[in-house]
């Protein structure tokens, strides 16, 4: 990326970022024209290519921008300061709801990018996601007290199962072509949290 992008006034940077989120969230990678992003941002296509060498560079920049914003919101909601896994997850849910309300196109873009199969960006997106997930999983697991859970439970396996079920839930929404609104996310995820607590926690640890 051309570092001159960061010399632009913040509002112009944000227009370009928002335009990318919006166009890429509405189409596949292959069917998202740079011209449409430039038009949405109110700049020429040649100027957009001046800041980003090609579509892949812009796409990965937006993915990393979304990841940075997500980490900021997770930190603001103190998601990894608890020793209670389900409290961490609940705080994370509210952080994601805040982001959906504040950056609706970013949330839609991030979900679409996660499931994007275009070879040009697939490996980069999945590698980045795995790095973020592995770090957050390690942070979360290091804080847990095994005595809070049913005897003999493999905490790492439990965490992975919960992760896969969460991904499966989002995949089902994406396959239906439905829009994931904040109220639906809160209701469905709260029900899943209650279920997981009953399955994995010792009875005396249930609140």
CA-wise closest residue to 125 among 105, 111, 104, 137: 111
Residue 203 is predicted with a pLDDT of 83
pTM tops 0.85: no
Cβ atoms within 10 Å, residue 170: 14
CA 95/CA 71 separation, integer angstroms: 10
Residue 180 is predicted with a pLDDT of 67
Percent of the chain with pLDDT over 90: 53
**Residues contacting residue 142 through CB under 8 Å, at least 6 positions apart:** none
Beta bridge partners of 171: none
Cβ atoms within 10 Å, residue 73: 19
Distance of CA 131 to the CA centre of its chain: 13
The model's pLDDT over 168-196, given as tens digits with 9 standing for 90+, comes to 887 787 677 666 677 888 899 899 999 99
């Amino acid at each position: 990326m051309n570092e001159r992008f960061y010399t632009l006034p913040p509002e112009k940077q944000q227009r370009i970022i928002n335009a990318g989120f919006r166009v890429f969230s509405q189409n596949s990678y292959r069917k998202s024209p740079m011209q449409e992003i430039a038009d949405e941002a109110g700049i020429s296509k040649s100027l957009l290519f001046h800041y980003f060498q090609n579509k892949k560079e812009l796409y990965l920049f937006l993915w990393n921008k979304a990841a940075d914003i997500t980490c900021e919101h997770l930190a603001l909601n103190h998601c990894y300061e608890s020793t209670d896994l389900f409290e961490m997850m609940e705080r994370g849910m509210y952080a994601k709801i805040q982001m959906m309300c504040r950056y609706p196109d970013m949330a839609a873009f991030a979900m679409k990018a996660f499931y994007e199969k275009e070879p040009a960006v697939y490996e980069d997106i999945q590698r980045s996601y795995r790095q973020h997930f592995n770090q957050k999983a390690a942070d979360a697991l290091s804080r847990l007290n095994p005595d809070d859970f049913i005897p003999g439970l493999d905490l790492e396996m439990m965490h992975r199962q919960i992760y896969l079920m969460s991904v499966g839930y989002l995949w089902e929404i994406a396959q239906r072509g439905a829009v994931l609104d904040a109220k639906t996310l809160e209701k469905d995820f709260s029900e899943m949290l209650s279920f997981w607590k009953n399955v994995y926690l010792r009875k005396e640890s249930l609140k």
